[in-house]
Amino acid sequence: MDMLLVMLKIGMYAAIVIGFITVNALFLVWMERKVSAKIQLRHGPMEVGWHGTFQTFADAIKLFGKELITPVNIDKVPYLLAPMLAMFPTILIFLVIPIGENLHILDLNVGVLYIFAFSALGVLSIFMAGYGSNNKYSMLGAVRGVAQSLAYEIPLLLSILGVIMICGTLNLKGIVMAQDNVWFVLYQPLAFVIFFISTLAETNRAPFDLPEAESEIIAGFHTEYSGIRFAMFFLSEYTHMFIVSALATILFLGGWNGPFLPEPVWFLLKVYFLIFMMMWIRFTFPRIRIDQLMTLGWKILIPLALVNLLVTGIVLKL
Amino acid sequence: MTVANFSSQISECAPSAQIETPDFSKTGHHLTVTVNRDQIAALTQKFFDEQFFLESLSGVDLIENFQVTYHFNRFKKTERVMVRVQVTKEDPVVPTVSHIFPSANWFEREAAEFYGMKFKDHPNPVRLILPEFSTYHPLVKGYKDEGDSAKEVQDLIELEEAIQKLISPTVGQLQTKDYFVNMGPQHPSTHGLLRLLLHMKGERILGVDPVLGYAHRADEKMAEIGNYLQFWPNTGRIDYLCAMLYNWGWANVVEKSMGIEVPERAQHIRLIVSELNRIASHLLWLGTFLLDLGAFTPFLYTFADREKIVDLLEMASGERITFVYFTFGGVLYDVDEQFVIQTRAFIKEMRDHLKDYHKLLTKNVILLKRTKDVGIISKEVARLYGATGPVARASGVDYDIRKAEPLSIYTQFEFDVPLGENGDCYDRYTVRMEEMEQSLRLVEQALDKLPEGAFQCKPAPKRIKPEAGEYYQAIEGGRGEFGIYLVSDGKDKPYRVKLRTPCFSNLSLLSEVSKGLTMPDMVAILGSLDLVIPDIDR
């Protein structure tokens, strides 16, 4: 009987997480289309449902119904494994994100570490996809992806160390609790900026979307994917956007803290605001060049993050 | 030194040269020189030293002989010299001049493949526009299309298979080495059927070899088949983004050769629609250039503005892209009061929008980083490769045909020719942005002065038959000099029409400027060159 309960519980959690991921991705795609439309003086989708609300559902169904094209001469194992590997860490990461004080699935005391450990796996899927596709453009995209992730993982981690030094815990709930009065963005404004820029690069969002730059290397690593395999990459990208924004909210913007409204509402408001910022940036700036991206990562963001860390340490010691 | 007293120097380095001074206003040539083929290289060197550039090089089939026609011209103020070299059909060999003017490289390859001539010592004597292994020469008079022979087709299939075997790597054979990438013919940033064979090492480009001909439609052959009127639709389809200007190019060369007077009102209308078309063309360039750089939003803004121009041009001509609005001696339809009012309203609106574009883009850090010091074309390279238009002007070459060799109408109006300094992508961007403002100025002035009267010459010329002779007229297209070299034998069909298109020459310098740059730079340079593929392939 106990066994059955545990199984039921796991099943329920899986259903909740996968359900949320799907709905979230569908909503974000709709949101991105609407935001871009407003920026570009268009309407965006208007036909299916109220203001095109169900357009993305229709698109998703179409995508799932599409033929799976497998190119010749591919390396089968990495090629077929890559889309699954792209999806898998994002699902696991969702387990530890607290949406409210008691609204979470897992409460790990090393939540931050857990998230970074799994989100670093994302680049593996990019590389496997590019390597397995037997396509020079895909390979270029994959190499770019790896170089970029190396350059931006480090400032990303360095920037959050300041926060962790202040609150002294790796527990996500603990970090939010420590921001009851003052959000950490006020203590660590520089770290927040570095974190935000690095997450843009980490999630391959414009202006750092080099692994999939369509005007240069034609969608890069996922050029050769179609149908549901492509959908998996797509889903993981949008989920990744949610995850990094949620992390920024937890670490810097006080998580679910806020007056009047219920906790999850505050949390989601902050998250979607950050996502909106990402979209705004995407539809304003051109794409940066690969060597300039590396320069920005290694020569500017990492030293800045180190300085920030040093100053935080000194201030805390005083 | 003017061209008139240049003739003594010509006879010095080419003693056998026969020099004539034709009527410039009619033929477009200040001097015509006929030389033997063994003196052409020395003569070309002379032109090179005197700061000329090779405007065009074309083959002509004179039934008994082949003729190669060189047009040399100067920047700033037009001083055009035509040089003819005639060779017999039994021994059609001409010494190459591509070591002096690299622009001749492509011109000579083109002449060689269309006529079966040979250029001695040419560095790369393979076919340029036609399929690499084809054996026919379609512009030779009396050519009949017999299709590919079965053997040729078989050869091609075998070759294709051999190439496939060579280029497709199999799993487990991946190595660290330089490699080739086909950028195009289907690639979002080549804006059409252009193929670039990139030799790369990692992200760096070691060499570029453009492969042309995917959009080749033999416009020059079509011109010879039909009569003068039947060539109108083709003019609108060469550079389909500024069809009005190319209309004007065709109108210009035929009218001048026949001495047709165009009424004042028609000239004003021509200028208005042409400059509007130039703005539309530049707007489309702006959108796609930024799209290549990864900014999606300006594309939609500029298309919204372009749409208004297209609507205006539709009011005037009834067409939206590939216009056939001009006719010999005027335009096909008059414009009405409504057109004038709406154009004025558009100018006002467009000025505001240009300010917005500057606010959004001109100081944008990422745009600056992507375009500054990327793809630098020096003044000298521009001359060597015969670059014209905004590409050359961004390098500081003061050559705008509207000033250098103006059609009568342009001298009545005030406008500036914006020049760049470094010749990088950013300068090409600023030059085009400024050109839009200048075009707006021109349209505004022309609207103010738009006279009443006829919009076609009366009586309309019934028989279009220019006297036998050779004519060259150029206009400033949206992308540079569009020149038409017309050989007439006095009949109702053109004997030979050579289209000297700006994109062809502008693209030829690509391999010169892109070495050592990265793939994204390549995309930025392609965007800043503003290529229209049918304009290259014709």
Render pLDDT for A33-85 as a digit per residue (tens, 0 to 9). Answer: 899 898 888 888 888 888 888 888 888 888 888 888 888 778 888 888 888 88
Cβ contact B532:B506 at 8 Å: no
Q: What is the pLDDT of residues B268-292, one digit of tens each?
A: 898 999 999 999 999 999 989 988 8
Cis peptide before B185 (omega within 30 of 0): yes
A47-56, A100-109, A283-292, B407-416, range with the lowest pLDDT: A100-109
Residue A105 pLDDT exceeds 80: no
Looking up tokens 């574009």, which residue turns up?
B357
At residue A284, φ and ψ (nearest 5 deg) are -115, -35
First to last CA, chain A: 57
Report d(CA B30, CA B13) in Å as an integer.
19
Q: How far is A84 from chain B (nearest CA, A)?
A: 22
Count contacts between A and B (CB, < 8 Å): 87
Q: With an 8 Å Cβ cutoff, is A213 touching chain B?
A: yes
Place of tokens 């250098």: B404
Chain A, residues 234-263, CB within 8 A of chain B, namely: none
Query: Given a cut of 70, is residue B2 above it in pLDDT?
Result: no
Average pLDDT, chain B: 84
**pLDDT (tens digit per residue) in B141-168:** 877 777 666 776 777 778 777 766 665 5
The DSSP code sequence of A81-142 is HHHHHHHHHHHHHHTT--SBTTB-S---TTHHHHHHHHHTTHHHHHHHHHHHTT-HHHHHHH
Q: What is the mean pLDDT of residues B191-197?
A: 83
pLDDT, average across residues B331-353: 89
Lowest mean pLDDT among B120-124, B252-256, B341-345, B423-427: B120-124
Give φ, ψ of B209 to 5 degrees: -130, 105
Preferred mutation among B166, B171, B175, B204 to probe A, highest tally of A CBs within 10 A: B171
Q: pLDDT tens for residues B472-510?
A: 888 888 888 898 999 988 888 888 899 999 989 888 888
Q: Give which of B251, B139, B249, B206 is closest to B484, Cα–Cα.
A: B249
Digit-coded pLDDT (tens) for B49-80: 888 888 888 888 888 888 889 988 888 788 88
Partner-chain contact B369 A292, CB within 8 Å: yes
Beta-carbon contacts of B359 under 8 Å, excluding residues fewer than 6 positions away, are none
Q: What pLDDT digit, counting tens, does each position of A226-252 carry?
A: 888 888 888 888 888 888 898 888 888
Contact across the interface for A283 and B297, Cβ inside 8 Å: yes
Banded pLDDT at B171 (limits 50, 70, 90):
very low
For residues A137 and B301, what is the distance between their CA atoms, to the nearest angstrom? 30
Q: What is the DSSP string of B338-373?
A: HHHHHHHHHHHHHHHHHHHHIIIIIT-HHHHHHHTT
**Of residues B361, B356, B363, B387, the one with CA closest to residue B525:** B387
A42: chain B residues, CB-CB within 8 Å: 300
The pLDDT value given to residue B176 = 64
| C-beta neighbour count of B356 within 10 angstroms | 12
- Which pLDDT score, from 0 to 100, does residue B1 have? 47
Mean pLDDT value across chain A: 85
pLDDT tier, B310 (very low <50, low <70, confident <90, very high otherwise): very high
State pLDDT tens for residues A128-142.
888 888 788 888 888
- The residue of A289, A290, A292 whose CB has the most chain B CBs within 10 angstroms, and thus the best one to mutate to test that interface, is A289
Is A206 in contact with B179 (Cβ distance < 8 A)? no
Q: What is the pLDDT of residue A296?
A: 87
Domains of chain B: 4-120 (3.30.460.80), 219-537 (1.10.645.10)
Name B71's bridge partners: B56, B82
Task: Tell me the average pLDDT across B196-202.
Answer: 82
Between CA A270 and CA B444 the distance in angstroms is 51
Q: Are strands B81-88 and B31-35 parallel, antiparallel or unpaired?
A: parallel
Adjacent-strand bridge partners of B60: B67
A287 and B CB contact within 8 Å: yes
- Detail the DSSP E strand segments found in B399-480: 469-476
More confident site: A280 or B167: A280
For helices A227-252 and A189-202, the axis angle rounded to 10 degrees is 170
SS3 of chain A: helix, strand, coil, percent, to 5: 70, 0, 25
Return the residue of B nearest to A216 by Cα: B520
Find the CB nearest A288 among B171, B360, B369.
B369
Tell me the C-alpha distance between B177 and B240, whole Å. Answer: 41
